[in-house]
Structure 1
Amino acid sequence: MIYLARPKAHSMAHKQTGKVRAGLLVPLCLAMAAPFAWIQGGRPAPEATEPIAPLADAQASDPARVALGESLFNDPRLSHGDRLTCSSCHRLDLGGDDGQARSVAQDGGRLDFNAPTVFNAALDFRLNWRGNFRSFEEQNEAALLDRRLMNTSWEEVLAKLRSDPGYSERFAKLYGAAPARTDVLDALAVFQRSLITPDARFDRYLKGERNAITRDESQGYRLFKAYGCVACHQGVNIGGNLFQKFGIFQDPFAVQKTVTTADLGRFAITGVEADRHVFRVPSLRNVVVTAPYFRDGRTASLGEAVRIMARNQLGRELDPHDADLIVEFLGTLTGRYRGRLLTSAAERPQP
């Protein structure tokens, strides 16, 4: 059994964060106790109770609204000066992000956070790194009005959409009126909820397809559980369902020359000391194709990201072979969108 010391700061946790961390002890203990059982032929069988669940296909409630939302998602007229689209930072031909450490803002500078993938975001309990939005509608409106993002106003957006006969006809048919604020937000959200990427090899493995992953990948999954990674990365989205402090056992901010407002995490929103450096745990689905990693894109190496997490969150220096095997497992989490396996910016040929 792997021994993990309790973090010194645990007793000082804020009530809400304390409940979250206390809730982690159950999956952590289960993960540490997971047996390394092998079936005949040298391949592991999925265990009766797994901390990760397979992802089902998205069920579009209204294909016409999905299509309208997709048009809006890719339309630069939703930004001031027609400069940006939602897909500028969330490219659907790649991993749902833009492959940059931090995206370019309207003013030409860099945004505060790495753009998280939009794929499977509908499965997260909160949105954005700090979890400051509970719905796509709320998040989208904030992005549209933010001076460093789309930098627009509803007067500007609606005037553009209403002057377009195609949009006017589609909104009238679907919503019974000319384009309006709530309807624009609804169409965008309906489309974003459709961005689910099922059929990862690990999903097929969980459904009983024994040969969907290799022996090394399966061993990597066993290590992923045994080290306790599943304490934060579990469920159908393999994360995205709780908050956690970045730096439980080691403080990664202690070696930084400066600590930015973005580094403060939820503390910048709540002002509660226990929320300092607390972020929403990201999903690990499609993680191989969504580099660079962490809220500031500090590394493009998935192996290095795994070692950073083990050091800061678990208090462990991983054996290099174990780290490699965990990366092998993470490679099985890449799903498909509209039948196409997702790829990263690094995998696409340059023009």
Structure 2
Amino acid sequence: MSSSPGDRHGLRKFYLVALVVLAILTALGWQQFQSPPSTVLTTEETSAFDPVDEPIQPLPLEIKIDLNKSALGKKLFQDSRLSSDGQISCASCHHLQAGGADNKRYSVGVNGAMGTVNAPTVFNVPYNFRFNWDGEFNTLADHTNALIQTPNVMGGRWPDVIQKLKAVPEYRQAFAKIYDAEITQANVIDAMVAYESTLTTPNAAFDRYLRGDRQALSSQEKEGYRLFKTYGCVSCHQGVNVGGNMFQKFGVIGDYFADRGNLTQADFGRFNVTQEEADRFMFRVPSLRNVALTPPYFHDGNAETLEQAIKIMVKYQLGRPIPQEHIQLIAQFLQTLTGENPESSLSENALR
């Protein structure tokens, strides 16, 4: 059956409209990838959004805590008896007043041993999907156990650790009361994990913003978040921990390590765990929560400031030029991810 002239005219008109729409969409997409985002401070009306649709979610305001276990775990976390030289505790590298890190390029372990990677924050660790920069450990318990025994970190031997703890009446009484058992490797680790799981930092300004408080951020901070998404940073830094939930190659665009020089074994990242060539230079994406408090940055501590870190990330991960003004705006947004210190928020946000 042949079509009428009217039908053919209608089809031509439909195709023409479709081609125009397709051309507009193509031009918009091309412009987004070729040009750096413009700096236009958003207004309250244009920045409104449904929090459910955002790639970042707020930290829970309440967590379930066994207060007796966490109190015992806190003492152990701060106790240098767990180390071989009696000088290093977990708190030596994870300062609660320094964003859960130590602000050193490499931490110092037992007998003055220098670490090979920058110590990541202990804050919000329950929300990480793997532990260590190379993701060697699947659980916080395995990670805690390994750090106590790692020669250049704490260098502890469990028989020695247990013997030293049993010599303290306060510990013997606490373990008997809480675990109805004597001190063992398993319940020492369990208590420490209970404490580490309380080290969350809720109620950051950005979390309040996500929950509907539009006054929680300034116009510059909102613009910084828009740029954070537009440049593509959010493709790796999303979710409740703004990262910590995937592996990514350091140097997706460009060779970061060739430009930096002085390649070390630690730079091979996840390859050191799997021996798979595809995992060379792959690292667990760090959480950006409280990132303003934890310089220097990256596994190698190579960026001394937040602005330097942003510039390196955009260059080697996204392959895009970025003006200094945008770097500063993104840094302002990242500062809104600083939450309440766990020491002050624990009693208020805990659920027995």
Give the TM-score, by structure 1 length: 0.85
Question: 1:269: Cα distance to partner?
Answer: 1.4
Residues 105 and 301, structure 2, Cα contact 8 Å, conserved in 1: yes
Question: Which position in structure 1 is the counterpart of 2:226?
Answer: 222
Question: Which position in structure 1 is the counterpart of 2:33?
Answer: 3
Question: 1:45: Cα distance to partner?
Answer: 2.2
Question: 1:36: Cα distance to partner?
Answer: 8.9
1:116 matched to 2:120? The reply is yes
Residues 267-282 of structure 1: matches in 2 within 5 Å?
A: 267-282=271-286
Letter in 1 for 2:44: I
Unpaired runs of 5+ residues, structure 1, are 6-31, 342-351
Residues 268 and 282, structure 2, Cα contact 8 Å, conserved in 1: yes
SS in 1 for 2:110: coil
1:317-351 CA deviation, whole Å, 9 max, x = no partner? Answer: 2111111110110010000124759xxxxxxxxxx
Larger deviation, residues 54-63 vs 265-274: 54-63
1:175 matched to 2:179? The reply is yes
SS in 1 for 2:85: helix
Residues 88 and 109, structure 2, Cα contact 8 Å, conserved in 1: no
Residues 74 and 195, structure 2, Cα contact 8 Å, conserved in 1: yes
1:176-197 CA deviation, whole Å, 9 max, x = no partner? Answer: 1111010001000111111100
Residues 101 and 294, structure 2, Cα contact 8 Å, conserved in 1: yes
Residues 162 and 168, structure 1, Cα contact 8 Å, conserved in 2: yes
Identify which of 41, 44, 50 aligns with 1:39. 44
Question: 1:37: Cα distance to partner?
Answer: 6.7
- Aligned-partner Cα distance in 1 for 2:256–2:115: 21
User: How many residues get paired?
Assistant: 311
Larger deviation, residues 316-325 vs 83-92: 316-325
Identify which of 189, 194, 203 aligns with 1:185. 189
TM superposition outliers: structure 1 runs of 4+ over 3 Å? 35-40, 338-341
Residues 41 and 219, structure 2, Cα contact 8 Å, conserved in 1: no
User: When you count helix as a share of all residues, which structure comes out higher?
Assistant: 2
Question: 1:127: Cα distance to partner?
Answer: 0.8
Question: 1:311: Cα distance to partner?
Answer: 0.2
Identity across matched positions, percent: 44
SS in 2 for 1:210: coil
Question: Which position in structure 2 is the counterpart of 1:331?
Answer: 335
Larger deviation, residues 101-110 vs 80-89: 101-110
- Aligned-partner Cα distance in 2 for 1:116–1:256: 21
- Aligned-partner Cα distance in 1 for 2:69–2:34: 49
Residues 53 and 235, structure 1, Cα contact 8 Å, conserved in 2: yes
Select the structure of larger CA radius of gyration.
2
- Aligned-partner Cα distance in 2 for 1:4–1:183: 56
Identify which of 274, 283, 286 aligns with 2:287. 283
Question: 1:163: Cα distance to partner?
Answer: 1.2
Residues 237 and 288, structure 2, Cα contact 8 Å, conserved in 1: yes
- Aligned-partner Cα distance in 2 for 1:124–1:209: 27
In angstroms, what is the RMSD of aligned CA positions?
A: 1.9
1:205 matched to 2:209? The reply is yes
SS in 1 for 2:248: strand
- Aligned-partner Cα distance in 2 for 1:109–1:157: 20
Give the TM-score, by structure 2 length: 0.85
Residues 204 and 339, structure 2, Cα contact 8 Å, conserved in 1: yes
Residues 76-115 of structure 1: matches in 2 within 5 Å?
A: 76-115=80-119
